[in-house]
Structure 1
Amino acid sequence: MTEHDSRWMYRQTIDAMVVACLQGQGQVSAERIRVGVWNPNADDETDPNQVTMNALLRSMEERHRQALAVLFAEEFASGIFNALTVLAAARIEPFTQGYEGEPSDDFLGRIDGSEWPTEAH
């Protein structure tokens, strides 16, 4: 497979989405919650909601913050899942056909650690 092959591009794109969820932007808010500080630079004058979020996180037990962090990370992944569903429904290449069902199914498989099939479909 090469970069000019739609199946190659499909795999690359799905894998990039998985990396974003597990190591990238999908972990930013979750990590803020885990450490208990939403925005260390927030002030009442310019960021009152973020100041409130800082106070909320400080008031939570660690186990509650951990549970909330998981929820935030899952919501990020849910957004990607939904975007893939829309792309497939709109028949946007290369998301017209998945390997294991719909592209959103392939995304879920990859995020759970499944390998790509060895045979192209």
Structure 2
Amino acid sequence: MSSPRSRRPVTCRRRWTRCCGWWAQSSGTELRVRTGSYYTPHGVVEAMVRLTEAILQRSFGIESGFASPEVVVVDPAMGTGTFLLSILRRAAATITEEEGPGALGLDCGN
């Protein structure tokens, strides 16, 4: 009998983890130390992005947060792109909330 976990649809997050997460987990401590590569867990990334967006909204008055055209995000040490993916998800959620379902023309929210 298959477990409920194995029946979950493959979402964008799961594809991303399968594609790039393996590198962060399997590249070995020596290689990561030598290259200065560090994997930030999703929970930490989500919290940091959420707090940064709150600062954009409260301190800078940018109500749409990361979805605003005024906001430019640069991640020079992108690694597996976990931060950028989290930011894109938040921006997509805001756009969908403000403009309605289908505003993005895709279904990649998970």
- What range describes the TM-score normalised by the shorter chain of this pair? 0.3 to 0.5
When normalised by structure 2's length, the TM-score is: 0.32
TM-score by length of 1: 0.30
Question: Which has the higher Rg, Structure 1 or Structure 2?
Answer: 1
